[in-house]
């Protein structure tokens, strides 16, 4: 039995080993990681920073001003619920751009609206500004 084990060991050693033994590499990396963690200094100091104090201005809360453009399944354009055409939409958008702070524009096309109608409204929305 000992003879057969010796023969099988020599048979395996005749071919070069094609894989690298990574266990020592992993051990060294873990030791280096632990040493690095232990040598990091603890941050015990702090730096005081004097930040400038800004003025609070009383102005119109622009979060309250929101314009909603929607498109029905029939292709009808609505501005805050009122039916309009593309020319009026362009005028409303231009008026919104002239405001001191541009209000939020919410775009809500109906799921059944035609893509062509949605695309036309998007192109009209981009055109003024």
What is the predicted pLDDT for the residue at 71?
A: 92
In angstroms, what CA-CA distances link 126 with 85, 106, 120? 16, 13, 10
Q: Which two tokens stand for residue 58?
A: 């009383």
| Sign of the Cα pseudo-torsion (23, 26, 32, 35, in order) | negative
Q: Identify whether the C-beta of residue 107 lies closer than 8 Å to the C-beta of residue 121.
A: yes
If we measure between CA atoms, which residue out of 43, 111, 96 comes closest to residue 65? 96
Tell me how far apart the alpha carbons of residues 75 and 82 are, in angstroms, rounded to a whole number.
14
Per-residue pLDDT of the chain (129 residues; tens, 9 = 90+): 455 555 555 555 677 778 888 899 999 999 999 999 988 887 777 777 887 887 766 655 555 778 899 999 998 999 998 999 988 999 988 888 888 888 888 899 999 989 998 888 888 888 655
What is the predicted pLDDT for the residue at 129?
A: 55
Q: What is the pTM of this model?
A: 0.49
């Amino acid at each position: 039995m000992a003879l057969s084990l010796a023969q099988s060991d020599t048979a395996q050693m005749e071919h070069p080993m094609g894989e690298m033994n990574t266990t020592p590499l992993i051990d060294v990396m873990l030791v280096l990681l632990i040493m690095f963690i232990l040598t990091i200094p603890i941050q015990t100091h702090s730096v005081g920073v004097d930040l400038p104090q800004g003025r609070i201005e009383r102005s119109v809360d622009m979060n309250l001003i929101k314009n909603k453009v929607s498109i029905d399944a029939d292709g009808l354009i609505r501005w805050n619920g009122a039916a309009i055409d593309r020319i009026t939409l362009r005028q409303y958008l231009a008026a919104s751009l002239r405001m001191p702070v541009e209000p939020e524009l919410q775009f809500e096309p109906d799921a059944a609206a035609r893509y062509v109608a949605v695309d036309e409204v998007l192109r009209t929305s981009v055109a003024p500004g």
